[in-house]
Amino acid sequence: MALITLYSTEDGIERLLAQPGDVRSQAVPFADISLEQASPEHRQVFADYVNDLKLAYDIAEAWWEDTIETQKDLGLSQKKAIAEAFDVRLAGPASNPHVVWAVRGYWLECDRVNRSIEANRAVPPEKLLLKWLIEAGETDLVKLIACMPYWPVGLDEKGEWC
């Protein structure tokens, strides 16, 4: 079954790819590195991420369908049940802890790899986590990630991702 969402995947992609620039220093811009041009370390992180995200997707999709079904059992129409489910869980199916764990963990892993290689080979985490999914044709996973209203990470007092 297709992932149930209220919002535009394209809007979600645009929002998520733009957000980190609001908080991250842009003094040294990232190079535009595709998956094929990426370091072996980044490619491995991406492969592991896709595997874990596919597992998280299966869990989140079933959980989200049950969440909507519960609202329907309370007498709501399909449309209202979806709206109510999103009112309670703003990220919809992406609010499932398995999805949040994968996104947050691999964001921080990408950042760790970036710190261990030459600066000109660094890949923005949002690119690895979303743009490369698009490039890889992982449309179901893209739709899931695009449900997130924001990335589940922040910056600590040193300006480092946490």
Using one digit for the tens of pLDDT, what is the confidence trace for 6-20?
889 999 999 999 998
At 23, the pLDDT band (50, 70, 90 cuts) reads confident
pLDDT digits (tens, 9 = 90+) for 41-78: 999 999 999 999 999 999 999 999 999 999 999 999 99
What whole-number percentage of the chain has pLDDT above 70? 96
What's residue 101's pLDDT? Answer: 98
Mean pLDDT of the chain: 93
Question: What pLDDT was estimated at residue 17?
Answer: 94
Give the bridge partners for 161, in sequence order: 155
Q: Which residue in the block uniquely carries the two structure tokens 């908080």? A: 23
pLDDT surpasses 60 at 28: no
Model confidence pLDDT, tens digit, residues 81-92: 999 999 999 999
- Residue located via tokens 């370091």: 39
> pLDDT per residue over 130-148, tens digit each?
999 999 999 999 999 999 9
Q: Which residues make Cβ contacts (< 8 Å) with residue 20, sequence separation at least 6? A: 124, 125, 126, 151
Domain boundaries, the chain: 47-64+91-162
pLDDT of residue 18: 92
* Distance (Å, whole) CA 23 – CA 9: 23
Q: Which pLDDT tens digit goes with each residue over 86-124?
A: 999 999 999 999 999 999 999 999 999 999 999 899 999
